[in-house]
Structure 1
Amino acid sequence: MRDTLDMLGGLDELDEFCTKALLQHGCASVSIAVAERDEVTLTRAYGQADVVNQRSATPETVYGLASVTKAFTAMAVLLVADEGLLDLDTPISGAYAWPAPTPRQLLQHRGGFPAFYAFHYAAGPPPIDIDRYRTLVREPGTDFEYSNIGYRELGRLVEAVTGQSLGDYLRGQIFEPLGLRSVGYGPAYDGSAPVAQRYSADGRAYATCFSGHPAAGAGWATAADVALFARVSHRLLKPASVAAMYDGVPFSEDLGYGLGRIVSRGAGPVIRSHGGGMGGIATMMIDIPEREISIAVLTNSTNKAARDTIVDHLMSSLAPGFRSSQLNPMPEPTRPMSLAQGEWNGEISTAEGDIPLRIGIRADRQVQIQIADSAPATAAATASQTWDLRASAQLQLPTADARINSPDFALELRTEQDRLVGRAIAFKGGDREGRLGAYLVHPCVLRRSLSSQT
């Protein structure tokens, strides 16, 4: 611990930095931990776990983990594979437009399912049926697309082959063998430790959050247990499974995604990590194998800025040569949209039927978007390596699901012969008003209007 503290400038400097970061970014609290070899060597917590009741965060405070949970789910899948209960390369059951994805492809976010999330804040059946979006949007094994639907399928697969709930399997086969006493699973924490209240980006308390994809984000733990899990969990697996877990298939210049872990590539130290973010949660789990050290940073705010600032501070000291791009997938670089002016007409495919969509591409790289008979909206258009047109606007997709809590609209389209093909997305841009809602992807196809062809 002494060497670690010396690298961080001592406790006084660490305390001052973290306290300032919380104030600067309006974050209620943060808990951090460092594990070296097989023990936790540093734990600190700052700020308020519960602002209204003035309850301070401590190293024993449990935080929601959001997508760091995926590392737990992936471990469960690998364990049942090591037990011979499933084959990572045997397609899952179900009828799809392409051959069904395999567990390995789902673990790598290459299963062909779209991006998706749907959060609600009252017990009972979810208002949005995830199965309406459980459709392949590309051939499995091809492109990377981060998908909570894929991890939901993995959780269900573990339950089917073990006959246990995923939470029970995680506790019995991972948490207890590793001595992780605080870790829980479910919409609310199911242990006895104090829990950090979750807050929106502007400081409003969140109610209990439910989703149809708990295997992708319903974990809970202290920072100490997250750091220890990152450092020692591989010891539960067979060597071949460990190698597969850390074999990150590239999805960007700096990063690859293995089996539940993001693996850095290129310059700088090798880093194995996973971040998490949802309403009232921003977390990061990091392992630096060449130093035999791991780090956890957990905050109780939707805003990731405090988390990222503190992570950068820790990593710049503990992993010389570290670059922020080794942790967070960077947005695909934009380029100017270069489609010719013209009018396009088509349909958005939804579970409720096709919805008319019209777009007009203007000379100033603006696009006018009209959904069905609603008033049109004009938005700036860009492009990327994947998409020839990207745009977003405050437009309501008129489906029952989108009307619940997804008031914004985005298009991602590419040219295919004489058509524009891609996706229409209903979502909510953050939680500074209300709470985080759903991200709903729908296929769409447009054809150039006859007037634009003449």
Structure 2
Amino acid sequence: MLGELDDFCTKVLADHGCASVSLAVVERGELVHTRAYGQADVAGRRQATPETVYGLASITKAFTATAVCLAADEGLLDLDVPIPGGYRWTAPTPRQLLQHRGGFPAFYNFHYESGPLPIDIGRYRTLVREPGTDFEYSNIGYHELGRLLEAASGQDLAVFLRERIVEPLGLTSFGFGSVYAGPAPVAQRYAADGRAYATCHSGHPAAGAGWATAGDVALFARTASRLLRSATVEAMYDAVPINEHLGYGLGRIVSRGAGAVVRSHGGGMGGIAAMMIDIPERELSAAVLANSTNKAARDAVVDHLMGALAPGFHSDQLNPITERTRPMALAQGEWAGEISTAEGDIPLWIRIRAGGQVEVRLADGPPVTVSAVASQRWNLRVSAPLQLPTADARLNSPSFGLELSAEQDRLVGRAIAFKDGDRDGWLGAYLVHPCVLRSH
């Protein structure tokens, strides 16, 4: 069944410039297949093995979610009681945060030097919509869950994960933190063009600071539910729809529609492309871990592996796309307003032109003209080569995006400072700021 896998994975690594990939398959709770290909450390010529540990990025959210659900089962917290803190709307509940419906925006603040993080996550812990009303994938929400769990349990998240999940399930390789501190060999992380990454720090470890072998990830996917009450397991996989193919439960993506149900979570950041899959109907789980920012090798291996293990599998059962584009249909005209930042308001002006073109000017800088699109959520979406003039954005977020909805005589939404990939330097921060424009 997997006879062609060796040749296929070797070719995929070469085709996509990926240093290594590791995979594992678990059936009925037992690890039945492990393989690793390529080099875990190119400079050191160290081969990847099934014992090599990889960064998990957002697969960590599944571990954090399981920990939060364990704490709820033990009465340490209530999934439906709003978290502490003052917010624009009613504070979100842990259940809403687990489902990425807590109202927080997308965010990451990756940094590659030791010492305090220069971008404070607290400056971006502002609700952008009423909790419970819509899905938005947010590291801030999982950061809040980590803080809540530590306060409720009196333990560091790393300790709680180790004592309540890792040790009971026998996941001997799992680690948590910016640096892997366990005994196993670690895969060096690489940019899309093959440069070795420096150590990455962030202000939201509960959302992405996990490490493990592919075997332990696959075992976790198949066995984590053993730790929870049956009603909690049912709630974990009762996924609210996010598109026509998928829903998001409590730290798990769940497929919808025809075919066997697939429960999964992916992970991606600088030098990491990871995927965890569980198919309960077949009592089967799998993990594919790669040490490259480019997800192409991971995705090709996942498709090949799952095609052999689960006929009828399709990649739409994994990919939580929520913003499918369509043509922008706003009328021509000029709009002016401001972007709200922690450093004060920044003037913004746009002119909507014919043919889906938009002219954008920030503060007193020169205008640039770019193409615009729309989506089911936004009437206008653009990306422009403009630098948001804040100290946080200047650190490593040189690109600028706008997502705006038409509301009577206003355009309301957000301005985003980000970095488009890591082919130049390292992946930067993703910073969301409220924005309001009025017809000018």
TM bucket, shorter chain: over 0.9
Q: Find out whether 1:440 has 2:440 as its counterpart.
A: no
CA distance, structure 2, for counterparts of residue 37 and residue 228 of structure 1: 10
Matched ranges for 1:215-226 at <5 A? 215-226=206-217
CA distance, structure 2, for counterparts of residue 27 and residue 329 of structure 1: 23
CA distance, structure 1, for counterparts of residue 341 and residue 258 of structure 2: 44
Give CA-to-partner distance per residue, 1:104-151, whole Å, 9 cap, x none: 000000000000011001121100000000000000011000000000
Q: What is the CA-CA distance between 1:331 and the residue it aligns to? A: 5.1
Q: What is the CA-CA distance between 1:319 and the residue it aligns to? A: 1.3
Q: What is the CA-CA distance between 1:169 and the residue it aligns to? A: 0.6
* Counterpart pick for 2:230 among 239, 246, 252: 239
Where does the alignment leave 5 or more consecutive residues of structure 2 unmatched? none
Matched position secondary structure for 2:355: coil
Structure 2 residue identity aligned to 1:446: L
Q: What is the CA-CA distance between 1:446 and the residue it aligns to? A: 0.3
* Counterpart pick for 1:382 among 369, 373, 387: 373
Q: What is the CA-CA distance between 1:385 and the residue it aligns to? A: 1.0
Q: What is the CA-CA distance between 1:264 and the residue it aligns to? A: 0.3
* Structure 2 residue aligned with 1:283: 274
2:59·2:266 contact (CA, 8 Å) conserved in 1? yes
* Counterpart pick for 1:365 among 356, 366, 370: 356
* Structure 2 residue aligned with 1:121: 112
Give CA-to-partner distance per residue, 1:283-319, whole Å, 9 cap, x none: 0000001110000000000000000000011111211
Q: Find out whether 1:272 has 2:263 as its counterpart.
A: yes
* Pairwise CA RMSD: 0.6
Structure 2 residue identity aligned to 1:105: Q
Where does the alignment leave 5 or more consecutive residues of structure 1 unmatched? 1-5, 450-454
Structure 1 residue identity aligned to 2:101: R
Q: What is the CA-CA distance between 1:253 and the residue it aligns to? A: 0.3
Structure 1 residue identity aligned to 2:50: P
Matched position secondary structure for 2:265: strand
* Structure 2 residue aligned with 1:325: 316
Give CA-to-partner distance per residue, 1:28-47, whole Å, 9 cap, x none: 00000000011100000000
Structure 1 residue identity aligned to 2:247: G
Matched position secondary structure for 2:247: strand
* Counterpart pick for 2:44 among 27, 47, 53: 53
Q: Find out whether 1:191 has 2:182 as its counterpart.
A: yes
The alignment of Structure 1 onto Structure 2 pairs a total of residues equal to 440
* Structure 2 residue aligned with 1:422: 413
* Counterpart pick for 1:35 among 11, 26, 42: 26
Structure 2 residue identity aligned to 1:115: A
Matched position secondary structure for 1:120: coil
1:268·1:323 contact (CA, 8 Å) conserved in 2? no
Structure 1 residue identity aligned to 2:175: G
Identity across matched positions, percent: 76
* Counterpart pick for 1:175 among 159, 166, 190: 166
2:219·2:285 contact (CA, 8 Å) conserved in 1? yes
Q: Find out whether 1:65 has 2:59 as its counterpart.
A: no
* Counterpart pick for 1:354 among 345, 348, 361: 345
CA distance, structure 2, for counterparts of residue 118 and residue 285 of structure 1: 24
Q: What is the CA-CA distance between 1:323 and the residue it aligns to? A: 1.3
Q: Find out whether 1:136 has 2:127 as its counterpart.
A: yes
Give CA-to-partner distance per residue, 1:200-256, whole Å, 9 cap, x none: 000000111000000000000000000000001100000011001111110100000
CA distance, structure 2, for counterparts of residue 190 and residue 246 of structure 1: 32
2:243·2:322 contact (CA, 8 Å) conserved in 1? no
Structure 2 residue identity aligned to 1:430: G
Give CA-to-partner distance per residue, 1:426-448, whole Å, 9 cap, x none: 00000000000100000100001
1:31·1:299 contact (CA, 8 Å) conserved in 2? yes
CA distance, structure 2, for counterparts of residue 307 and residue 333 of structure 1: 23
CA distance, structure 2, for counterparts of residue 307 and residue 248 of structure 1: 25
Q: What is the CA-CA distance between 1:424 and the residue it aligns to? A: 0.4
* Counterpart pick for 2:298 among 299, 302, 307: 307
* Structure 2 residue aligned with 1:102: 93
Q: What is the CA-CA distance between 1:330 and the residue it aligns to? A: 2.4
Matched position secondary structure for 1:313: helix
Structure 2 residue identity aligned to 1:318: L
CA distance, structure 1, for counterparts of residue 247 and residue 233 of structure 2: 15
CA distance, structure 1, for counterparts of residue 152 and residue 108 of structure 2: 25
CA distance, structure 2, for counterparts of residue 110 and residue 319 of structure 1: 31
Structure 1 residue identity aligned to 2:68: V
* Structure 2 residue aligned with 1:3: none
Matched position secondary structure for 2:395: helix
Give CA-to-partner distance per residue, 1:264-299, whole Å, 9 cap, x none: 000121000000000000000000011100000000
CA distance, structure 2, for counterparts of residue 82 and residue 126 of structure 1: 34
1:387·1:412 contact (CA, 8 Å) conserved in 2? yes
1:249·1:257 contact (CA, 8 Å) conserved in 2? yes
Return structure 1 stretches of 4+ with deviation > 4 angstroms: none
1:420·1:445 contact (CA, 8 Å) conserved in 2? yes
CA distance, structure 1, for counterparts of residue 231 and residue 326 of structure 2: 41
Q: What is the CA-CA distance between 1:332 and the residue it aligns to? A: 2.1
CA distance, structure 2, for counterparts of residue 167 and residue 278 of structure 1: 20
Structure 2 residue identity aligned to 1:70: K
* Counterpart pick for 1:157 among 148, 154, 167: 148
* Structure 2 residue aligned with 1:19: 10
Q: Find out whether 1:148 has 2:161 as its counterpart.
A: no
* Structure 2 residue aligned with 1:79: 70
2:242·2:322 contact (CA, 8 Å) conserved in 1? no
Matched position secondary structure for 2:22: strand
CA distance, structure 2, for counterparts of residue 439 and residue 327 of structure 1: 23
CA distance, structure 1, for counterparts of residue 115 and residue 69 of structure 2: 31
Matched position secondary structure for 2:354: coil
CA distance, structure 1, for counterparts of residue 84 and residue 307 of structure 2: 45
